[in-house]
Structure 1
Amino acid sequence: MTEWSDWRAVAAATGPGDRVAAEEGVRLAYRSAGLAEPAHIVWARSPREAVRLLAGAADAAGSGTADAAGEGAAALPRATGRSVRERVRSRPWAAERDRLHARLGAAGWAAHWRGTGAGLWETTGSLVDRVRTAVVTELAAGDGHEETDVRLLLLDAVLGQHDAAWLCAFDTGPGTPLEGLAAVAREAGWWWPYEDVAVVCERPTELHRDEAGRLDRADGPALAHSDGFRLHAWHGLPVPAELLDELGSLTPERIRAEENAELRRVMLEHYGYDRYLEESGAVPLHRDDTGVLWRVHLPGDEDVVMVEVVNSTPEPDGTSRTYWLRVPPTTRTAREGVAWTFGLSADEYEPVRQT
């Protein structure tokens, strides 16, 4: 069984994979499901392009025309046949899960999952949700396709590298029913199996995450494909590209003027809460031997409340460093705020030495 770290690398891989190996994996997945190999394997540059191709083929069925997916896009044969995802992916998937559950028992399976797929589930799952939402938004709102049709096409997808969490937990070795699916996942992104055609996506060209595994980039797209499909995010929060362009020129006035509370928080994180307090006329509410409590009112959002704390241990150059700790809006004293950061009440907080 492939190591967890190997599947983590698969889930995060970018750039061109081995198309020959991916296509052989597709054919093997069909054969393992008892199906004839697809007559055609068509590559798309992103999930958006793949769904656009498939939606265009459906729209053009019976009209004798083909719907282009944009400059540089591949073309689909006129007939794709019905989706065979159930036989190619769902059935062997369920059979392998049932086999492991029967062999390991409920407790054993739970422990096995914790040691394998659970470590990849949250990051890959959240990324899949973001991609699906963006594809629906762009194709339904931008291209005019029916939203229901787009969502149904997305349900036909096998997730390729983003199925890493499950593939990590399963036996995908030579001769197993999931060998073909694993081979595709190692070299490609999402793919759509139909009776006569398989549409396979290239992996993204860029992927940027923060330490928690969330999409994150302040100076460009956090996820990008070669056809221009992009996702922008700041610590996992979806943001418009225009916001990233103005992060370097933010002012307290611009931050206060932002009506969207989530975007305002992005601005505050980037600008710095301490800097915002200093430049926006914040008034200290309370001070004691632990620090100074500050509060700034934000229209339509919870107040920004922070404790200014001076490190009692001097730096090597003799100076004392100042820290800013964001605390709940209900905080009434500096001691209460500092104690909250340790999970204590103000009465319980009695440090022997501050560092």
Structure 2
Amino acid sequence: MSAPARLDAALRFPASRTIAAGLRPETGDSPRAGAGNSLRLWREAVDIRQEWLGHALCTDPADRLTAERALARIYARIGRPVPRFRWVDSPHAALPYLDGLPTIDDLYQVIRRPGSVSPPLASDLAMAASGLRGALSASVDRGDPELAPARPPKSKNPWPMLPPRDALAAGTPLNVVLHRSVHGALQRSIATGFRQPIHAALAPGRRLPVCWYGQHDVPWIGYYDMLRRVGLARYQPGPLDQFADWVDLARSCGWWWPGERVCVLTERPETLRTEPIPGAWHDEVRLRPGGVAYRDGWHPLLH
């Protein structure tokens, strides 16, 4: 089957692709949700977190066909035709192709003055992604701390910050411990430890167009995947199928900038060297000085 034919088949039969990706709709009550073995579930969650950390730090060449298929479906869901895909070797190499794409300030302008301008594609995409995360969150057993901060009964303060085993022993709810151990840990390792410094090195003092991060979107993707796999979330088929596309992107490519006609995608880094963050409770890592290099020779953070 040719690549265009495979892409057309993927668009017309999303459910079969969801199953192939290992994401199946949940039916009935989860046998794991009421098991009460919090420590065992936490250990499983840590294994899944480390799996997703591996995807975030992967240096294999991008799986371009998988990424393009996923983006074609994401575009279709917001009523846009399949764009032309332009691949580059690094975020720095993407800069010449980003003129005219909206910044975060442009998206806020759409929110502040609805109807004054036509929403750009990035605005519709951000709304769709936000809606997906809300749907996933609403399907989490015992409540989702990502949706609203969890606090002890009759208290305005959050649950105390403790190492995971100590937190469970002290009565901190499992959902709070898992949120901190997975979402929080991946956020510190990937968003704070990688995305932010690379973004700052990419265009110092300049507002860049809105982008998404592929493999570096794993904090929220890995978190909701973990909840499903340990049996603490039962996602409906529609949101689950949408989620599968974001899972595919996180497993297949680097950063990407969506435009109406062209979507710019980057390869994954060629080299990534990290080190443990001293004193961390959740195996967080950070880039070593000069620890990242891309296939076109771009070496941000050389010092």
The interval holding the TM-score normalised by the smaller chain is 0.5 to 0.7
Q: What residue is the counterpart of 1:170 in the other structure?
A: 224
Q: What residue is the counterpart of 2:123 in the other structure?
A: 86
Shift of 1:132: 1.1
Q: Give the Cα separation in 1 of the matches to 2:244 and 2:120.
A: 20
Between stretches 197-206 and 164-173, larger displacement belongs to 164-173
Q: What residue is the counterpart of 1:222 in the other structure?
A: 291
Deviation digits for residues 147-202 of structure 1 (CA, Å, limit 9, x no counterpart): 54xx132xx11111110011112259985222222212211100011111111000
Aligned residues: 193
Shift of 1:92: 3.3
Instruction: Tell me if 1:50 matches 2:94.
Output: yes
How do 1:233-244 residues align onto structure 2 when only pairs under 5 Å count? 239=303
Give me the TM-score of the superposition, normalised by structure 2: 0.56
How do 1:80-119 residues align onto structure 2 when only pairs under 5 Å count? 83-88=120-125, 90-103=126-139, 104-105=142-143, 106=148, 107=150, 110-119=176-185
Amino acid at match of 2:76: R
Q: Give the Cα separation in 2 of the matches to 1:196 and 1:82.
A: 15
| Structure 2 gaps, min length 5 | 1-22, 24-44, 102-117, 151-172, 229-234, 278-284
Shift of 1:112: 4.3
Amino acid at match of 1:162: H
Higher strand share: 1
Amino acid at match of 1:87: D
Shift of 1:228: 1.8
State which structure, 1 or 2, has the greater radius of gyration over its C-alpha atoms: 1
Name the SS of the counterpart of 2:198 in structure 1. Answer: helix
Identity of paired residues, percent?
27
Q: Rate the CA distance shift 1:9–1:83 in 2: closer, same or farther, 3 A.
A: farther
Q: What residue is the counterpart of 1:27 in the other structure?
A: 72
Match of 2:190 among 110, 124, 130: 124
Deviation digits for residues 259-286 of structure 1 (CA, Å, limit 9, x no counterpart): xxxxxxxxxxxxxxxxxxxxxxxxxxxx
Instruction: Check whether the contact 1:15–1:206 (CA below 8 A) recurs between aligned residues.
Output: no
Q: Rate the CA distance shift 1:41–1:225 in 2: closer, same or farther, 3 A.
A: same
Q: Rate the CA distance shift 1:85–1:110 in 2: closer, same or farther, 3 A.
A: farther
Q: Rate the CA distance shift 1:96–1:116 in 2: closer, same or farther, 3 A.
A: farther
Instruction: Check whether the contact 1:42–1:197 (CA below 8 A) recurs between aligned residues.
Output: yes
Amino acid at match of 2:188: E
Q: Which runs of 4+ in 1 moved over 6 A?
A: none
Q: Give the Cα separation in 2 of the matches to 1:22 and 1:34.
A: 19
Instruction: Tell me if 1:200 matches 2:280.
Output: no
Amino acid at match of 2:286: R
Instruction: Check whether the contact 1:116–1:168 (CA below 8 A) recurs between aligned residues.
Output: yes
Shift of 1:83: 4.8
Name the SS of the counterpart of 2:98 in structure 1. Answer: helix
Name the SS of the counterpart of 1:215 in structure 2. Answer: strand
Amino acid at match of 1:30: Y
| Structure 1 gaps, min length 5 | 59-80, 138-146, 234-238, 240-355
Match of 2:249 among 177, 184, 205: 184
Amino acid at match of 2:198: V
How do 1:309-320 residues align onto structure 2 when only pairs under 5 Å count? none
Match of 1:14 among 55, 59, 66: 59
Q: Rate the CA distance shift 1:91–1:191 in 2: closer, same or farther, 3 A.
A: same
Amino acid at match of 1:177: Q
